[in-house]
Structure 1
């Protein structure tokens, strides 16, 4: 199934913040629902947008969300980014501080490469 990707970008006096939105739902809402449904309630959620400076789509393992406090190293949501032909896939989601959690039922999210590239183009050009 092909998903739609967009981003909600906000800024404060120090940083620009990026929140991925998949099929019109914030990724924070999607992952919190998944964690609750799977009994991961210590805590469930706790994620927030990621600083533009911490967002890097050139790597295979990417941080998509930061902790709700804003620190990526504190409580990140990570995924594997793979690209092949006309597709970009976010899969193998993980919370590195809770290695006992199984995220194999979350995602994967598959995007047309042209749509993915268009969504990320110019994300962090201001205020970062």
Structure 2
């Protein structure tokens, strides 16, 4: 009998990316308070992949993802999406999502949101079958997305 994947807690941190007086904004996913960059880096190192962990979060100011909530739930009309429900959860550490993305399928059910089917499109021979799936309670995931959306808004003038 197959076991159910462990339910995790998700959050999306909005943090400064880059140098200078007006840095860009990076959206970095976390599962159980561990960044997805750290999780995939550990997996890639253990698997012996070349160029392990050369990722960063999605740099919001460099990537036109459309509606953030739709994007993070795999319902985006973003031009990036190559397959139904597949998004880049991470981009390259250079700040360009198309340079070195970590992609995953986002599957939403009545009760959960799952990231599965991870891939690195520039290394299609890599096997990420043992990475994930990451399953989150839908209400907690949607709350984390709303918090990310609020944190990504520019500050309102006083």
Pairwise same-fold verdict (TM > 0.5): yes
Partner of 1:22: 31
Q: Which stretches in structure 1 are left out of the alignment for 5+ residues?
A: none
The answer on whether the counterparts of 2:86 and 2:103 sit within 8 Å (CA) in structure 1 is yes
Structure 1 residue 85: Cα displacement: 1.1
Cα RMSD between the aligned structures? 1.5
Q: Which runs of 4+ in 1 moved over 4 A?
A: none
Q: What are the within-5 Å matches in structure 2 for residues 20-99 of structure 1?
A: 20-40=29-49, 42-52=50-60, 53-54=64-65, 56-57=71-72, 58-59=75-76, 60-99=85-124
Q: Which stretches in structure 2 are left out of the alignment for 5+ residues?
A: 1-5, 77-84
Structure 1 residue 15: Cα displacement: 2.9
Whose strand fraction is larger, Structure 1's or Structure 2's? 1
Whose helix fraction is larger, Structure 1's or Structure 2's? 2
TM-score (norm 2): 0.75
TM-score (norm 1): 0.91
Query: How many pairs align?
Result: 126
Larger radius of gyration: 2
